[in-house]
Amino acid sequence: MKSILEVVHECDNFPYYEPWHTDDCNRELESLWLFFLPDDPQPHGFLLDSIVQRMPWTSDFRLITTPYKEVHLIKQDLDDWKEACQKAIDDLLDLTREKKVFPGLGKKRDEQFPIFWVPRRNAKKSTWPNMLDNTVAGGVARGEMPFECLVREAGEEAALSEELVRRDTVAVGTVTWFNISDEKAGGELGLMNPGMLYVYDLEVGEDVVFKPVDNDVQSFHLLGVDEVKEAMRNGEFKPSCATVMIDFL
């Protein structure tokens, strides 16, 4: 029977660079290409030989084979060289898609437009009134599976069809916390509240509009990444919901 540490190691199995693991780490790195950004001595990723060989590298990148196999993104001689680096990455990925090098690579997405449907809680709710919330959320009833709870709440809170939710929703893990309640939570102060959220992502088209159905939601707003970050920093989100957004971002 495996120990708990062995079970963890099955997942977290890349060797850490520690004094007693240097040989293991170096041996693993010998088979990989290290990816470097300008002006940073630390690698920002690892690439397999098969990926490097198939990638249609542009003149924005330099490949080195000794003493280690390395891919360097070349620093551009421009005022905004960071933006130039981002463009170099985008151009490489566009070329990769155009040549269909990796069939599994999805289409290009521009997330500068609003991508989050964010509800504002009813101002009359006893807990966290008037704060921004998860798009759809609710307590899992006794005997109910988390996904079935999501399907139910999606219809009750946002008028989403059961067919859409069952077909397109993707489970993406959980978020856990241990919170001490304050005056914004409603109820008694200082309560210890351990919690866990089952998190799902749902991509919808422009034709899908989220609409309040019950009294829990005051309104839905379509927000961009920067707007969500600003709202979080301003304390507009219910705390547990902010952690879900952070996990996504």
Residue 140, token pair as written in the block:
């899992």
Determine the CATH number of domain 116-248.
Answer: 3.90.79.10
The torsion angles phi and psi of 69, rounded to 5 degrees, stand at -80, 120
- Alpha-carbon gap, residue 28 to 150, rounded angstroms: 42
Spatial contact of 71 and 107, defined as CB atoms under 8 Å apart = no
Q: Which segments of the chain does DSSP mark as H helices, in order?
A: 4-11, 22-30, 49-54, 81-98, 146-158, 162-168, 225-233, 239-248
- Count of Cβ atoms closer than 10 Å to residue 134 Cβ: 20
Cα–Cα distances (Å) from 168 to 163, 164, 199, 221, in that order, read 9, 6, 14, 21
Give the predicted TM-score (pTM) of the model.
Answer: 0.56
- Alpha-carbon gap, residue 11 to 152, rounded angstroms: 33
Helix (H, G, I), strand (E, B) or coil at 80: coil
Cα 217 to the chain's mean position, in Å? 25
Cα 208 to the chain's mean position, in Å? 22
Per-residue pLDDT of the chain (249 residues; tens, 9 = 90+): 667 677 666 666 666 666 555 676 677 677 788 899 988 888 888 888 888 999 999 999 999 998 889 999 998 877 777 788 888 988 998 899 888 887 766 665 554 556 788 889 888 887 788 888 888 888 888 788 999 999 999 898 888 889 999 999 989 899 887 776 777 776 656 666 778 889 999 888 878 888 888 788 888 888 888 888 888 888 888 888 888 888 887
> How many residues in total does the chain contain?
249
Domain ranges within the chain, ordered by starting residue: 31-98, 116-248
